[in-house]
Amino acid sequence: MNTVPGPRSAPGTSDPATAAPRGGATARDPWWDNTRFVAATLIVVLHTGGSLLGRVEALHAFQLGAWAFRVPAFVLLAGVFSKAGPLGDRSLRALIRSVALPGLLFGLLFSLESWALGAQFRVHVAQLPWNLWFLMSLFFWRLLHPLVLQLRFPLATTTVVALAVGYLPEFGMQFSASRTLVYLPLFHLGWWIGQGNLASWFTRRGTLPVAVGGVLASVLAGVLWHRDVEGRWLSMRHAYAPADPMGLEWAWLIRLAVLASAAALVLCLLRVMPRRRLPFVSALGAGGFTIYLLHPLVILPFRETGWIDRVDRPVEVAALVLCAVALSAVLGSPPVRRLARPLTHPPAGLLLRPEAPAPPHPDAPGPASAPAPGAALAPASR
């Protein structure tokens, strides 16, 4: 019987964005790692050429055509590895160490690097810079999801919230409030898939041509309509605007269409993604979270000093894209992951209280069951 493989990761190699602590996990599933590397690499390509979007048509088309395969794919993968039950002490401590602290630390590194490049020094707390909003949202998704699972219709309810929050300007970029609520349905969908649902979609041969068609349709939409789709419809960080084509009262329909398209396209991406271990790709995909965190620090100097803006001819654009792919591969490599581990998994021994000792095993004798002095000890039966 074909089933969707459950999320697995080797101890000590899990990316916090896409893995939750699971006892007894011994191996990584290459399907998730392959998808993770593709999504992370597409993000790196966009951020590398982001300053050229206004004048390079191919990159602007790429921004729309591959949108669902970047951040929405990362959100859904994060949900795949989310836990269903309430977060215990161990999970909460891991959340602080692997999500909250790296977010604050990389925000500080970004501020220091920007300052060294001539910008004013700023401390980012309520609004993390550049791509670090994802870590803040991930922190809240993991806290909120056990509550979401108590709802009778969690996917429908979170979708209604995602649509309604567009009418509340208070939910904006501060604490990544808008993106957290808008992407929450995708996070929950990822968890639902991680429980083994939609197995027929991922395993039946007849669904593969449909998935390929979906991916090609996304690329075609990027080529044909990339100048017609407004960037704020995809950013999910702002309230609706009266200037929306359908008016303020029907603006939620645009967001609904965008979210539904994102969910469908990520499912198509997962369906076409090879489920076997791929040379280089699977190993590099294990470092998807490291790629996500480190690449802005590498790109920022080239962007701020004007090197990227000098790219003009098609051959130069192609070379820039290849450099972005190479950067993703280098940052995801095992040596770089090991070197960056103090940053991506900073030590928190001084911040967190010592872990409570594990409770005794139920079969272990306690004070109440201790034998009386001089009593004969019979062999324990099992």
pTM here is: 0.88
**Percentage of the residues of the chain whose pLDDT score is greater than 70:** 86
- 264-302: pLDDT as tens digits: 999 999 999 999 999 999 999 999 999 999 999 999 999
Enter the tokens of residue 39: 């999504």
Tokens 């499912």: give the residue.
267
Question: By the 8 A CB rule, do 90 and 356 touch?
Answer: no
DSSP 294-354: HHHHHHHHHHHTTTGGG--SHHHHHHHHHHHHHHHHHHTSHHHHHHHHHHHS---TTTSPP
Query: Closest by alpha carbon to 139, among 94, 182, 89, 189?
Result: 94
- 126-142: pLDDT as tens digits: 899 989 999 999 999 99
Which phi and psi (to 5°) does residue 45 adopt?
-60, -45
On the CB side of 143, how many CA atoms lie within 13 Å of its CA?
A: 14
